[in-house]
Amino acid sequence: MSVDLTSEGGTAILKRLVQWADVVITNFPHGTREALHLGYEEVSGWNPRVIYADITGFGDAGPDARLPGFDLTAFWSRTGLLAATRDAGAPPTSPPWGQHAAELADVLDAEFRSQPLAHWKEVLDTARVPYGVIQSPEEAAADPQLRAADIVVPIEGARDLDYTVNKPITLRGLARVPFRRAPEHGEHTDEVLAQLGFSADDIAQRREQKAIPAAPERETTK
């Protein structure tokens, strides 16, 4: 079915659908979804038991949270994957127009080089044209939006690693568990055996019997 969510009658239909539904999924960016009556607060007010799932291009917080996100702009370009995987010497713009693609890419590249990035950001933002700056993996790791949206988060206890990539799913109302390093091989052997009822003497005896390895040295937590 098709419904015009900008109309008064469309909102009434949407409300009836939400009250009937078990799950509501939206990928409208923040701001737009609220204007269309698809924000969580309004939807959950209509149906408190509904499962509300929303997909965003740039997360729920940070300066870019309200931007529309597309696969090429929000994922490939912004994350550094496009810079890391495209062929060496390939143009940064890749128009999909067959035999004229190379010529068009040359024209676009020359035009984009004629002004600094700040100019094009202003022009494209004013025209409401979605775009993505092609970042290197190093630039992506330092992207402030990734930290504001909790996409790149601190990791505890890891040697020579301060940050890692967060889980892509957020459950509303539930705090995410802080990331910690992966355990060393056999690090929790004694702990698990104790939970199974083995005494300290039993564990020492099994270690003497070579049934379990020597206890590893614990890494100092940062």
List, for residues 68-127, the tens digit of each pLDDT value: 888 888 888 888 888 888 776 666 565 566 677 778 888 988 999 999 999 999 999 999
State how many domains the chain has. Answer: 2
| Alpha-carbon separation of residue 205 from 202, 215, 216, 220 (angstroms) | 5, 13, 17, 27
77 and 129 housed in the same domain: yes
Per-residue pLDDT band for 44 (boundaries 50, 70, 90) equals very high
84 and 40 housed in the same domain: no
| The pLDDT of residue 97 | 66
Closest to 33 in 3D by CA, of 10, 56, 49: 56
Per-chain mean pLDDT for the chain: 87
Residue type (1 letter), 93: T
The whole domain housing 122 covers 71-149
Residue ending a domain, among 82, 117, 149, is 149
Evaluate the CA torsion angle 164, 170, 172, 177 in order and state its sign: negative
Residue ending a domain, among 128, 149, 170, is 149
77 and 49 housed in the same domain: no
208: in domain: no
Residue ending a domain, among 134, 149, 164, is 149
List, for residues 54-81, the tens digit of each pLDDT value: 998 888 888 888 888 888 888 888 888 8
| The pLDDT of residue 222 | 46
187: in domain: no
60: in domain: no
136 and 100 housed in the same domain: yes
